[in-house]
Structure 1
Amino acid sequence: MKMRKGKKFVLSLILVMALVLGLLGCSKESEKTITNLDENNSVVEVHEKQEEKGNIDELMDREEEKEEGEEKTAEEEKATEEEKEIESNSKEQRDTEKEETDTKKEEKNTKEISGEASKGEKDKKNNVTVIDGVEYTNYKGPVQGEIKYVEGRPAEQDSDRRKASGDIGSPYQVDLRVTTDFGHSKIYAKNVGMVKDEVGMEVLFRNLDIQTAYGGGFVNAINGIESKFTFFTGSQRKKEDWFYWVNGILAPIGVAEYRPEPGDVIWWDFHDWETTMFIPAVIGSYPQPFKSGFFGNNPGTVILYTGDYKNEAEQLKASLEKQGVKKVDIAVYDAKLLENPAKYYIVLGVWEELVKESTITNSRGKEINLLEETNDKNKFIGVYAKFEEGKLHALDHRGNKKTSHTQAGTIYGYAAGIGATKPIWIVAGTDDKGFKITFETLLNQPEKLKDAFGIVVSEKGVEKIPYI
C-alpha cells in the first residue's frame, strides 16, 4: 500500500516538474518570439525607415531636381521671357523699322506716283505721246484705212467738212510736197513730223485732206483735187490722177505700204497721164536720191564724164559730199554700165560726144545706142527734152516742141525699165558752152531744180519741163 502511495507521489512530482519545465520552456519561447518580433519590428522599422528615407531621399532628390528643375525652368523661363522680351523688343523695333521703311517707301512711291501723275498731267496737258521711248506731241493715233470722204461723191463737196488731223511734233521729219501739172503749181510744201516705222498714208492723213478709194490704199483726192478717172464715166472721165515719188524715184508700191525714212522727200503731183503714166525719175528732190537712197537702200553714186570734164566731175563730187552724200565715185563714161545699173549714175558731157560712145550690144544680143533710144522715146519714158540737128527742144507732156535752142543744156532723169529704182541722170549740152551753163546751174544754183521734172537751161534762163 505504501508502495502505491510512493509511486503516486513520484508520478505527481514528475508531472509537476514537467509542467514547470513546460512553463519555463514556454516562457523562453515567448521571450524569444518577442525578441524576434522586436528584432523584426526593429528591422521592419529600420527597413521602413530606410525605405521611407529612400523615398524621402528620392522625393528630396526629386524635389531638389524639381526645385533645380523649377529653378532651371524659372531661369529658362526667365531667360525665355528675357529672350521673348528681347525678341519682342527686336520685333517691335523691326516692326517699327519696317513701318518706317514702308512709310518711307509709301512716301517715295507716293512722290513717284505723284511725279508720274504730274508728268502724265503735263503730258496730257501738252498732248505728249511716248512710243518706244520716243516723245511725239499732238499725236492722235493711227488713222490707216480711214475713208475721209464718201467714195463716189465729188471730193470738193466734203473737203470743207473733213479736214486733216494736224501735224505732230517729232524728232523724225520728212519733206512733204504737193504740186499739180508736172510740178508747175505748188499746193503744199512743208517739213512734217512722222512716227518711226509708220506708213506714208498716216503722214498724208495728218497734213492733207485725203479721199481714198479701192479699199483705202489708193489716194483719190488731195485737198479737194480729185481723180478725174476713178468715179467718173463717159465724156467726164479723163486720165488725170495723183502720182508720188520718194526721193525723186517713182514709188513701185502704194503709199499705204510704203514706210518713210527720216529725211525722205515725199512728192505728190496731179497730172495728165494720157501719153504716159511711166515717169520713173524726177530731178526736183535734189540732192536726193543720191543722199538717202530709196526705201532705206542706197547703192552709191558714180559720176561718169566724157572729154575734158573730169574737173567738173570732181567739183560735183565735192558738192554732193558737202550736201551729205556719202558714197560718190567718178569714172570715165562707159555706156555698158547704164543697161542694168547697179548704182545711181550722173552722166556729164556734150550730147554728140556721149552719143558716139553709147553704142552697145544689149543683153538680148541686139546692138543699140542707149542715149539715141532714150532721146527718141522721150515723152513715153518721162523725158521732155529732145536733141535734134544741133538743137535742144523743150517739150510739153504730149511731146510737142515748145521752145528750141542752139546753145543750151538739159538735166533730166530716166530709168532702165518699168519698176527700176536706180535712175540715170543726164547733164548734157548742145556744145561746151551749153553744157557748162547747165552744169553751173546744178553746181551753184541747185534750188532751180526744186519741184521740176526736168529743166532746160539757156542764156534766157531755166525752163521747167514738161510744158503744159
Structure 2
Amino acid sequence: MKKRGLSLLILTTFLFFFPACNKQSSEPPVSTGEKETVVQSIPSETSEEVAGVEDLEKEKDVEKLNKESEEPFPKGKKEGKETVFLRISQDYGAVMLAEKEVPFKPKMSVMDGLNHIFPDEVETAYGGSYVQGMGSLRSQSGGLGKPRQDWFFFVNGIFADVGALDYLLEPGEKVWWDYHPWQMLQGTNAVIGCYPEPFVHGYRGKTKVTVILYCAAEKELALQLATALKNMGVQEMKLVEVTNELLQERAGPTLVVGKWQDLRGNAYLADLNQAFKKNGTFIHFTENSLELLDYTGKKAREFSMGAGVITAFGETAGEDSPLWLVAGVDDEGLRNAVSLFVERPAQISGFLGAAVLSGEVMRLPFTP
C-alpha cells in the first residue's frame, strides 16, 4: 500500500490538471415535438431543425441503419425496473472486467453502484470518494520506467468533476470505470464509449439540445447522423453549418462532421488539433495525413488515405457540452467514420476514441 503522503501528492497533482467544470449553458433546448423553444446562440435562419430528419427517414430504413446494435448500452430498464449500467475495464477499455445493470435506488452514488458489483474488493482513500484499488489493480505512482496508473470514471461519457461518493445517479445513466496508464499533461475529459450518451441522458440530470455542425458539402452526412441519434432516443437536435462561435460557445453536446481539409480553416478546430499532445483525443491531423497516438502522445500509426475518426473532447472535467469529431482525412475516410457511427455503433462501445480504415476499427489511444 502506498504511503498516504505520496497518495495525497498524486491526488493533488491530478486535481490540478483536471479542474472542475466551470462552463455551463443556461440556454433552453429546442424541442422536436409539439412544444418548441429557441436556442438563443443558434440563429434560426441558419439552422436545420430535426424535422428535416423525417424526410431522410422516408428514404432510409432506420432499422437497417442500426441493425447490428440497436442498443450499444441498455436503456435503463430491466423487467420494468429502473437501472443504471456499469462497465469496468482496463487499458482504455481493451480488457473488459465487468458489465452489469444494477437496480437504481434514490440518492444512489457512483460508489454505491461500484460496491454493488465488487462489494469487498474496492479500496478507497480521502473520505471514501477516491478509488485507489479494485481487486488486484491498484494505483501506481510510476517511476523506474513504469507509468502512472489509476482508476478513472466517466458518467455518460463525461469525466466526472466530483468524486464517486458525490455524483448521484439518475435512472438510465452509464458509468464507466477504467484502469489505465496516463501522462500528467494528457487529460481526457470526454469519451465516445458510452454512446448514445451523453446525447440521451446528459450529465447531472440535465439533458441539453444536441447540435450537429457540418461543412456545407456534408449536409447529407449530417442528416444521417441525426437519423441515427433520433433512433437511439435523442429527442432534441439542431443541424447547423459549422462556425467558430458555435464551437466556442456550445449549447449542448456537439458533433462536427466533415473532411479535415474543410474543417482545418476553423480557428477553434485548428487550435484543438495543434494541442494534440494534451487534448485527450489522441489524434493529430497533419497537412496530408492522420496520425494516431499512443497514451503518451507519441505517434503510433499514420495514414494518408481512407482513414476516419470518431473522438470526443471536453474543455474541463464535468463539461456537459462535449465536442465529438466525426471526420476523415479524405472523402473515403469521412464516409468510413459516418458509416461506423450510423451502421455499427456497437463497435465503438467501450472505446475512448476510434479510428477506422477499410472496415478495421482501431482503439484509441494505442497502448503497449
Fold match, TM over 0.5? yes
Instruction: Tell me how large the CA RMSD over aligned residues is.
Output: 2.3
1:431 and 2:330 correspond: yes
SS at match of 2:187: coil
SS at match of 2:275: helix
| CA–CA separation in structure 1 for the residues paired with 2:261 and 2:184 | 28
Shift of 1:307: 2.8
1:6-405 correspondence to structure 2 within 5 Å: 171-208=81-118, 209-229=121-141, 239-276=148-185, 278-356=187-265, 358=266, 369-405=267-303
SS at match of 1:324: coil
Greater relative CO, 1 or 2 (CA 8 Å, sep 6+): 2
In structure 1, the partner of 2:352 is: 453
SS at match of 1:267: strand
Counterpart of 1:397, as a letter, is Y
CA contact (8 A) 2:193 2:352 kept: yes
Counterpart of 2:248, as a letter, is E
In structure 2, the partner of 1:14 is: none
SS at match of 2:127: helix
Counterpart selection for 1:421 from 303, 315, 320: 320
| CA–CA separation in structure 1 for the residues paired with 2:158 and 2:358 | 29
Counterpart of 2:277, as a letter, is K
| CA–CA separation in structure 1 for the residues paired with 2:133 and 2:104 | 21
CA contact (8 A) 2:102 2:116 kept: no
Quick one: structure 1 residues 260 and 371, their matched pair in 2 at CA, closer, same or farther if it must change by over 3 Å?
Answer: same
Shift of 1:235: 5.4
Counterpart of 2:180, as a letter, is H
In structure 2, the partner of 1:162 is: none
| CA–CA separation in structure 1 for the residues paired with 2:310 and 2:287 | 19
| CA–CA separation in structure 2 for the residues paired with 1:384 and 1:270 | 17
Shift of 1:403: 1.4
Unaligned ranges ≥5, structure 1: 1-148, 153-167, 359-368
The Cα offsets for residues 388-438 of structure 1, whole Å up to 9 and x where unpaired, read as 131111110011111111121111011234553310001111111110111
Quick one: structure 1 residues 302 and 197, their matched pair in 2 at CA, closer, same or farther if it must change by over 3 Å?
Answer: same
Quick one: structure 1 residues 310 and 181, their matched pair in 2 at CA, closer, same or farther if it must change by over 3 Å?
Answer: same
Shift of 1:198: 1.8
| CA–CA separation in structure 2 for the residues paired with 1:307 and 1:341 | 19
Q: How many residues align?
A: 291
SS at match of 2:114: helix
Unaligned ranges ≥5, structure 2: 5-77
Shift of 1:238: 5.4
The Cα offsets for residues 72-102 of structure 1, whole Å up to 9 and x where unpaired, read as xxxxxxxxxxxxxxxxxxxxxxxxxxxxxxx
| CA–CA separation in structure 1 for the residues paired with 2:2 and 2:92 | 28
CA contact (8 A) 2:253 2:320 kept: no
In structure 1, the partner of 2:308 is: 409
| CA–CA separation in structure 2 for the residues paired with 1:249 and 1:426 | 15
Shift of 1:226: 0.8
Counterpart of 1:433, as a letter, is E
| CA–CA separation in structure 2 for the residues paired with 1:393 and 1:150 | 37
Counterpart of 1:183, as a letter, is G
| CA–CA separation in structure 2 for the residues paired with 1:434 and 1:173 | 37
In structure 2, the partner of 1:440 is: 339
Shift of 1:170: 8.6
Counterpart of 2:302, as a letter, is S
SS at match of 1:341: coil
1:466 and 2:365 correspond: yes
Counterpart of 2:260, as a letter, is W
Quick one: structure 1 residues 211 and 415, their matched pair in 2 at CA, closer, same or farther if it must change by over 3 Å?
Answer: same
Shift of 1:331: 1.0
SS at match of 1:172: strand
TM-score, normalising length from structure 1?
0.59
CA contact (8 A) 1:316 1:443 kept: yes
| Structure with the larger strand share | 2
| Stretch moving more, 176-185 or 272-281 | 272-281
| CA–CA separation in structure 1 for the residues paired with 2:317 and 2:112 | 27
CA contact (8 A) 1:307 1:349 kept: no
Work out which of the two has the higher radius of gyration on C-alpha atoms and give 1 or 2: 1
Shift of 1:352: 1.2
| Structure with the larger helix share | 1
